[in-house]
Amino acid sequence: METTTSTGGVSTQGSRTYLFGTSSGINTSALVEAAYNQRVAEADRIDVRIDTNTKKAEAYTTLQTLAGNVETALKNLRTSYGFSSTNANYAFSSRTGTLSSSSNTDPSKLVGISIDPGTTLGSYEIEVVQKAKAHRIGSDPAASATTALGLAGSFNIGIAGNTASTINVTSGMTMTDIAAAVNATTSTSGVSASVLKISDSSYQLILTGTATAKNISISNVTGTDVLTSIGVTTAGSVPKNVLQAADQAILKLDGVQITRDNNEITDLISGVNINVLNAEPGTTIELDIQNDNSAIKDSILSFTEAYNELRSFIVQNQTVAAGGSVSDEAILFGDTVMKSLNDAIQPLISAKYGTTTTGFTTLRELGITLTDNNVFVVDEVALDAAIISNYDDVKSIFSTGWTSNNSNFLLLGNTSRLANLNVTLSITANAGGVTGVSVGGVPNLFDVSGTSITGKVGTIYEGLSFAYVGTANSAVSFNMNQGLADLASNTLTKFTDAVSGTLASAKLDLGDQNTDMAERADQIRERADDFRTKLIDRYASYEAAIARNKSIIAQLKAILGLDQDE
């Protein structure tokens, strides 16, 4: 609402300043203001509705964020799908390894271990007999590293598997210069060089292979045999001063001796990377590969914390005070979108999962219970015990399990909200891929392209995608039991998706409403401004007419000799 000020018959309204009531004695400014305010009252009411919509959209954003946080927390508990199934953070694929030693030696001083997700559980005995080493040879000691050697010749140098490089030496080159020439071709030859200061009057040229278990080879010597002259080789380019032999790594795995050319061993135990640090023959290291229970627990706790934050926000927006009043913070009180989200997720929290008839099937059995407000309370001792003793049950509660009777059939993706599915797909195929899929004789339930089979939108199979790489017709029996993580995530995505989600659509609708209402309010105010201007002009004309009439009356009284007060 605009402010009106009046001072001694002068009024300012909007951008107009004018005199009022100078002739009529009537406060026309108040009349103008009252008429204007009546005209803009609807615009003021629209502003209130716009503000309400804005706060509601902000609350929707908060709800969307909190529900999205639950999805994010569940990600590490969701089943991986596809040919590679590469969810590296999938908690139930996380592995940890413990090392113990048969001696007093800390096993981590002998080997470093990393374990890939999904590695088969088991125990192994490892003995490091020998660490792989790089070939290292040296020259005879020399009095100076910077005095010209007076030698001219060339030689080829390299290690097995690399391309030998030609090193050309001139008479003015020093030991340091030869080292620099060798280092200039290290990336090709696989040989590096340095000059070691033994004492103030003794220096040695050191040649080292860049890979373990590879001998340094010297050949094609021309001119002066430079390396023999400085004591690196003897006649025939045989190393004279072997400082370290080129050795392979030698390990025993469960009593079986194996050799490798380097200390990074990735092909001994599938999914296990072994880094040989030191050798200690006779010491046995036991590697025990286990499920990473802490990763599972952390993921579950992250979910419960995210869910509790979401639930607290919903409760805040549902609460009615003792007197029946609704808090100003309950922006979404009675909102159908929030109610739909809450109604969709609540049954999943208390549902049963998995196929076991004797084990755990509910969150309550894992030590995760609900308060009266449906907020999680976690008994971490009970949760630890469940993960350790009932690992498969815990996995079944959170992660989706599926089976089929055909190794050529694979579940590629799952955004379905089906709790479970047991179906036989009649697939027709040839060398070019899948040609048709039906269920119980009913076609057109799936879209097919090449080897891809996708559930049609609007059918119960929507959200499921498969691959069939066979070339023959097959009746594929498929069974799926959804876990809480997949089912809750797929359910929440319907609301949280930034493009097609219910909350995104609701916010767009509110934005459109606000745009339309703002335009309407602007139009109302523009018309009110025009009306005020016309009203000011009308009252001004009235005042002018009154002033003219008063002047005429005064003149007539003067002519008639009447008192002006008569």
Give the model confidence (pLDDT) of 464-495 as tens digits: 999 999 999 999 999 999 999 999 999 999 99
Give the mean pLDDT of 349-363.
91
Task: Give yes or no for residue 462 having a pLDDT over 70.
Answer: yes
CB 514 within 8 A of CB 54: yes
Mean pLDDT of the chain, nearest integer = 91
How far apart, in Å, are the Cα atoms of 382 and each of 28, 368, 485? 80, 9, 20
The answer to the question of residue 491 being in a domain is no
Q: What residues are paired with 426 via a beta bridge? A: 438, 475
Which of 62-76, 100-114, 530-544 is least confident?
530-544
Q: Are residues 253 and 125 in the same domain?
A: yes
Q: Which residue has the higher pLDDT, 19 or 289?
A: 289
Q: Are residues 170 and 234 in the same domain?
A: yes
CB 490 within 8 A of CB 417: yes
The answer to the question of residue 462 being in a domain is yes
Q: Which residues contact 385 (CB under 8 A, 6 or more apart)?
A: 367
Q: Would you place residue 85 in the very low, low, confident or very high pLDDT band (cuts 50, 70, 90)?
A: low
pLDDT in tens, 497-508: 999 999 999 999
Task: Give yes or no for residue 329 having a pLDDT over 70.
Answer: yes
In this structure, the strands spanning 10-13 and 16-19 are: antiparallel
The answer to the question of residue 182 being in a domain is yes
Type of residue numbered 108: S
Q: Which residues contact 365 (CB under 8 A, 6 or more apart)?
A: 386, 393
CA angle centred on 269, ends 265 and 271, rounded to 5°: 90
Q: Which residues contact 530 (CB under 8 A, 6 or more apart)?
A: none
Give the mean pLDDT of 515-538.
81
Predicted pLDDT at 8 = 36
Distance between CA 393 and CA 82 in Å, rounded?
A: 23
Coil, helix or strand at residue 350: coil
Predicted pLDDT at 25 = 57
Predicted pLDDT at 26 = 66
CB 182 within 8 A of CB 207: yes
Q: Would you place residue 87 in the very low, low, confident or very high pLDDT band (cuts 50, 70, 90)?
A: low
The answer to the question of residue 490 being in a domain is no
CA dihedral in degrees (56, 62, 63, 67; nearest 10)? 160
Positive/negative CA dihedral, 27, 32, 35, 38: negative
The closest of 246, 233, 217, 87 to 159, measured between CA atoms, is 217
Q: Would you place residue 556 in the very low, low, confident or very high pLDDT band (cuts 50, 70, 90)?
A: confident
- Write down the number of H helices and E strands in the chain: 10, 30
pLDDT in tens, 222-279: 999 999 999 999 988 999 999 999 999 999 999 999 999 999 999 999 999 999 999 9
CB 169 within 8 A of CB 153: yes
Q: Which residues contact 265 (CB under 8 A, 6 or more apart)?
A: 249, 251, 273, 274, 275, 276
- Count the Cβ atoms, other than its own, within 10 Å of residue 538: 12
Q: Are residues 275 and 417 in the same domain?
A: no
Q: Are residues 125 and 151 in the same domain?
A: no
Q: Are residues 233 and 145 in the same domain?
A: yes
Predicted pLDDT at 18 = 46
Task: Give yes or no for residue 86 having a pLDDT over 80.
Answer: no
pLDDT in tens, 344-354: 999 999 999 98
DSSP 504-556: HHHHHHHHHHHHHHHHHHHHHHHHHHHHHHHHHHHHHHHHHHHHHHHHHHHHH
How far apart, in Å, are the Cα atoms of 394 and each of 11, 79, 198, 338, 543? 78, 13, 64, 30, 88
Share of the chain above pLDDT 70, in %: 92
Predicted pLDDT at 20 = 46
Domain edge (last residue) among 461, 481, 501 = 481
Q: What residues are paired with 154 via a beta bridge? A: 168, 222
Q: What are the structure tokens assigned to 181, written together?
A: 């020439």
DSSP 422-489: EEEEEEEEETTEEEEEEBTTB-SSEEEETTEEEEPTTSTTTTEEEEE--SS-EEEEEEEE--HHHHHH
pLDDT in tens, 153-172: 999 999 999 999 999 999 99
Q: Are residues 128 and 140 in the same domain?
A: no
Range of the domain at 203: 134-244
Q: Are residues 213 and 158 in the same domain?
A: yes
pLDDT in tens, 265-308: 999 999 999 999 999 999 999 999 999 999 999 999 999 999 99
Give the mean pLDDT of 313-336.
88
Q: Which residue has the higher pLDDT, 541 or 13?
A: 541
Instruction: State the total domains in the chain.
Output: 4
The answer to the question of residue 229 being in a domain is yes
Q: Is the pTM above the cut of 0.85?
A: no
Exposure letters 138-169 (e unless 16+ CB within 10 A, then b): bbebbeebeeebebebebbbbbeebebbebeb
Q: What are the structure tokens assigned to 525, written together?
A: 């105010």
- Count the Cβ atoms, other than its own, within 10 Å of residue 343: 10
Q: Would you place residue 10 in the very low, low, confident or very high pLDDT band (cuts 50, 70, 90)?
A: very low
Task: Give yes or no for residue 21 having a pLDDT over 60.
Answer: no
Give the mean pLDDT of 557-562.
74
Q: Are residues 523 and 454 in the same domain?
A: no
User: Backbone phi, then psi, for 98, in 5-degree steps?
Assistant: -115, 140
Domain edge (last residue) among 431, 466, 481 = 481
Give the mean pLDDT of 9-37.
59
Q: Are residues 555 and 528 in the same domain?
A: yes
The answer to the question of residue 370 being in a domain is no
Task: Give yes or no for residue 79 having a pLDDT over 60.
Answer: yes
Domain edge (last residue) among 431, 460, 481 = 481
Predicted pLDDT at 478 = 97
Q: What residues are paired with 455 via a beta bridge? A: 446
Question: How many Å separate Cα 49 from the centre of its chain?
Answer: 37
Q: Would you place residue 14 in the very low, low, confident or very high pLDDT band (cuts 50, 70, 90)?
A: low
